[in-house]
């Protein structure tokens, strides 16, 4: 299915911290998105965007998937937290300006307490990466953060 929502409607990041360029499709347990790498992209330096930022691209694609689920229920997207990742490896050091990165995230587990696991793919011209990301999305992120500080 093609996307009916924009990134801004699904991801609770704003301004430069919203890193996805567009939502390209989605299904019951997956979402695909794209990132256009520009000289002005967040985290860019004279070489481009460091490849470790690919993890944040994956995390924001998961955020878009979660935001889509909330929107389908008539609710606002909620904040989520990246708890960890496994097996992120990529053969390039930088994403260079002018490249387009395609992402796909697929939910493979969801617990009642808000813990989820996703399989993620990132592809571009001459590189690809996969990783598993663990995400926590509490019902009330503000309360969770307050409780964590005590």
Q: Could you tell me if residue 1 is inside a domain?
A: no
Q: Interior CA angle at 105 toward 103 and 109, to 5°? A: 170
Q: What average pLDDT does this structure show over 120-130? A: 96
Q: What is the pLDDT of residue 106?
A: 98
| E-strand stretches of the chain | 22-26, 30-36, 49-50, 81-86, 94-95, 100-110, 115-124, 127-136
Residue 95's domain is classified under what CATH number? 3.10.129.10
Question: What pLDDT score does 3 carry?
Answer: 59
At residue 2, does pLDDT exceed 60?
no
Which stretches of 42-126 are assigned E, i.e. beta strand? 49-50, 81-86, 94-95, 100-110, 115-124
- Looking at the structure of the chain, the number of domains it has is 1
77 located within any domain: yes
Residue 2 forms part of a structural domain: no
Structure letter (DSSP) for residue 45:
B
Range of the domain at 142: 7-149
71, part of any domain: yes
């Amino acid at each position: 299915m093609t996307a009916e929502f924009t990134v801004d409607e699904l991801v609770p990041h704003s301004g430069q911290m919203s890193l996805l360029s567009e939502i390209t499709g989605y299904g019951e347990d997956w979402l695909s998105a794209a990132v256009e790498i520009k000289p002005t992209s967040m985290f860019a330096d004279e070489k481009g965007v460091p490849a470790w930022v690919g993890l944040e691209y994956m995390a924001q694609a998961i955020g878009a998937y979660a935001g889509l689920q909330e929107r389908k229920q008539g609710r606002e997207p909620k904040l989520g937290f990246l708890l960890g990742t496994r097996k992120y490896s990529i053969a390039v050091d930088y994403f260079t300006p002018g490249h387009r990165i395609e992402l796909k995230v697929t939910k493979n587990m969801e617990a009642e307490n808000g813990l989820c696991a996703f399989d993620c793919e990132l592809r571009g011209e001459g590189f690809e990466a996969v990783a598993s990301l663990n995400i926590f999305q509490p019902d009330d992120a503000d309360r969770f953060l307050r409780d964590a500080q005590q």
